[in-house]
A = this chain, B = another copy of it.
Amino acid sequence: MKVFDLAQPMRRGMPQSPNHPAYQHSLVRRHGDMVRAGGGSAANDILVLGTHVGTHVDALAHVSQDGLLHGGVVAADVQSDAGFARLGIDEFPPFAGRGVFLDVAALHGVEVLPPGYEVTAADLEAAAGDLVINAGDAILVGTGWSRRFGEGASFLGTAEGVPGPGEGAAQWIAARGAAVTGAETIAYERIAPGAGHASLPVHRILLVEAGINIVETMMLAGLADAGVREFQFILAPLKLVGATGSPVRPLAVVP
C-alpha cells in the first residue's frame, strides 16, 4: 500500500491569495519556559489563517450568484456571527471513495502547463482515455502547477496567469457527477495573464450551480510522477462549523 500526500506544506510566507488572512504560526510556549516538578515540559502554538490558504476545500457557502447559494439558498438568510447555518464546510461529508487523476500536463507532454493555459473539456476527455469515470468519483485535474509552489509570487500568477479549467471543463466535470474536484492552483480557475481573480466563472458553475466542492492548491506532482490514475481518495476537512472552507490534507491511497 502506498499513501500519496496531496497537500502542500503550510508555513509563514507560503504563497497564498492576498484576499485571505495570511497564515501565521508561532510557538507560544517553548520547552524550558515552564518545567514541571518531574522535569516534564510542553510546547504549544498559536495559528492564524484564512480558510482558503494552503491546500484547502471550498464549502458551497463560499460563492453566491445574485445573492443565492447552491440550491437557491438565500445567502443573507444563513450568514451570521456563527458563520453559515447552511452549506458551511461542516456539511461536506468526509470523502473516502474513488478518485481519478486526469493529467492534462502529461497529455501535452510537459511537466507544467504554461501560465494562462485553459484546460478544456476535450483535454479532460483525452486525459481520461479509457479510464471509466463514475458518478460520485473525485476528479483531480493535473496541470503540474504544484511543482512551482516553491517559487512564491509567481505561483500566484498575478502577472502571467495560471493554467486551469475553463468553463467547458467545469461543465464536463459537473456532467460526470463528480462528488468533488481538485486542482493545483490557488484558485480552481484558468487565470489569464494580468486578469487576477476578478471573475470566477468556474466557481459559479461548480459551487453554485452543480453543488460540487473544490479543492485548491493541491500537490499532485507525486501522482503524476508515479503515473497513478486511480486510487482511494481521502478528503477530510476540519469540522469548522459554518465556515466557508477549510485547510485540508488530502490523501490518495493505492493498494
Contacts and interface: CB of A to CB of B under 8 A. Distances in A.
Interface residues of A, number: 90
A126 interface: no
Interface in A12-27: 12-13, 18-22, 24-27
B96 A253 contact: yes
A11 B242 contact: yes
A12 to B, nearest CB: 8
Interface string A24-46: 11111111111011111111111
A94 B63 contact: no
Contacts of A27: 26, 79, 81, 83-84, 244
Interface in A225-255: 232, 234, 236-245, 247-251, 253
A63 B41 contact: yes
B234 A236 contact: yes
A140 B236 CA distance: 19
Task: Give the oligomeric copy count.
Answer: 4
A83 B25 contact: yes
Nearest to A197: B42
A51 B44 CA distance: 7
Contacts of A241: 9-11, 25
Contacts of A90: 9
Contacts of A109: none
Contact of A240 (B25, B42, B94, B198): B25
Contacts of A130: none
A28 B248 CA distance: 20
A61 interface: yes
